[in-house]
Amino acid sequence: MSRVCELTGKGPMVGNNVSHANNKTKRRFLPNLNDVSLISDALGRSFKLKISASALRSVDHRGGLDAFLAKAKDAELSPKALKIKKDIAKSAQTAA
């Protein structure tokens, strides 16, 4: 499994460890990923996603998974999250 957030596309970055003697060695900065279950109000079920802690805060701030996915760009979403977004849009269209 890759270390990429399924909602924001946030992945590992590279940088340097810098010692007191100013020696530089390569290192990786990994995103803070968590396995969470998010509930979709429109679909009435939960989805297990691997998302970053900052994405979880953004989901709470925007008012839930449905509102977050409505504003999210398709290029940043994983295929699983993109399918959820399309299912939510489809259910909203049939309800209207």
CATH number, domain of 68, equals 2.30.170.40
**Cβ-based neighbour number of residue 94 at 10 Å:** 7
The pLDDT value recorded for residue 63 is 94
Amino acid at 83: K
How many domains does the structure of the chain reveal? Answer: 1
Task: Please report how many Cα atoms fall inside a 13 Å half-sphere around the Cα of residue 52, on the Cβ side.
Answer: 17
Beta carbons of 50 and 67 less than 8 angstroms apart: no
At 77, is the secondary structure helix, strand, or coil?
coil
Structural domain range at position 28:
13-95
* 54 domain residue, yes or no: yes
| Tens-place pLDDT, residues 4-35 | 999 999 999 999 999 999 999 999 999 999 99
Answer yes or no: is 3 within a domain: no
